[in-house]
Amino acid sequence: MMDLTEYTEYYTLFPTLVQSTLHPEADRINPPLLEEIYRLYQMTPDGRDERSSSSAFTTMWSLNDLHKRSVFKELSEFIKSELNIFAKEQSIKLSNNGPIIKEMWFNIINDFQCFDIHAHSNCLFTGVYYLKASKDSSPLVLKSENIDKMLICSTDAKNDYNTVSHEITPAPGLLTLFNANVRHSTWAILHKEERVSVSFTAVV
């Protein structure tokens, strides 16, 4: 059979951009944020969707204006500066004000808890900033659209063309950004741990 390699081209279409940045001064900014979150935790009802199978605590629907509070000002500015870079990497046109944080809330996950697979509507970007997480904490899992296939073929090795998910290991000070339509979840924590994070959505 004729070798047509030199006449063949391969294309990578519709790539999914994910941006992770470790805050260089997390040891300084995280403690007062944790203190405020624990204070709010004592007086804020759980904001989980009633249909959720998760038992983890979140204020997604009960307290989602953290970015408007002075304690979270420095974190919000850090997130917005990284969102600006993330948008420019995708050649998205920005106004003079740059990306706008729409909602911001906190999550507290304890042992054997998780978050269901979900995406975020009515926004362009979403992300998470970790305030507290152990070295062997369960990952944030981003799901490929390929997960919807009715039949997935066996493969010799995992690569960017056949994988259906990507795992990101949390760490204190880690900020991860991705487009809001990307479905994601958090696996159950299988050991005694309390993980605290701040999540948000944004528009331009």
Which segment of 32-46, 62-76, 86-100, 101-115 scores lowest on mean pLDDT? 101-115
Predicted TM-score (pTM) of this structure: 0.91
CA–CA gap between residue 96 and residue 196 (Å, rounded): 33
Rounded to 10°, the helix 26-41/73-89 angle is 110
Q: What is the pLDDT averaged over residues 129-157?
A: 84
Please report, as a single letter, which amino acid is at residue 47.
G
What is the CATH number assigned to the segment(s) 17-203?
2.60.120.620
> CB-based burial of residue 48 (10 Å sphere; 0-12 exposed, 13-18 middle, 19+ buried)?
buried
CA–CA gap between residue 37 and residue 197 (Å, rounded): 10
Place of tokens 């959505």: 201
Read off the pLDDT of residues 38-55 as tens digits, 9 standing for 90 and up: 999 999 988 776 666 667
Query: Are 132 and 196 a contacting pair, CB within 8 Å?
Result: yes
pLDDT band at 153 (very low <50, low <70, confident <90, very high): confident
Show the tokens assigned to 135. 């070295």
Place of tokens 């369960």: 138
The pLDDT assigned to 160 comes to: 80
The pLDDT assigned to 91 comes to: 96
CA–CA gap between residue 84 and residue 165 (Å, rounded): 26
The pLDDT assigned to 51 comes to: 65
Q: Strand order of the sheet with strand 115-118?
A: 115-118, 184-186, 140-143, 165-168
Taking the CB of residue 146, how many other CB atoms lie within 10 A of it? 12
Query: Are 174 and 151 a contacting pair, CB within 8 Å?
Result: no
At residue 147, does pLDDT exceed 70?
no
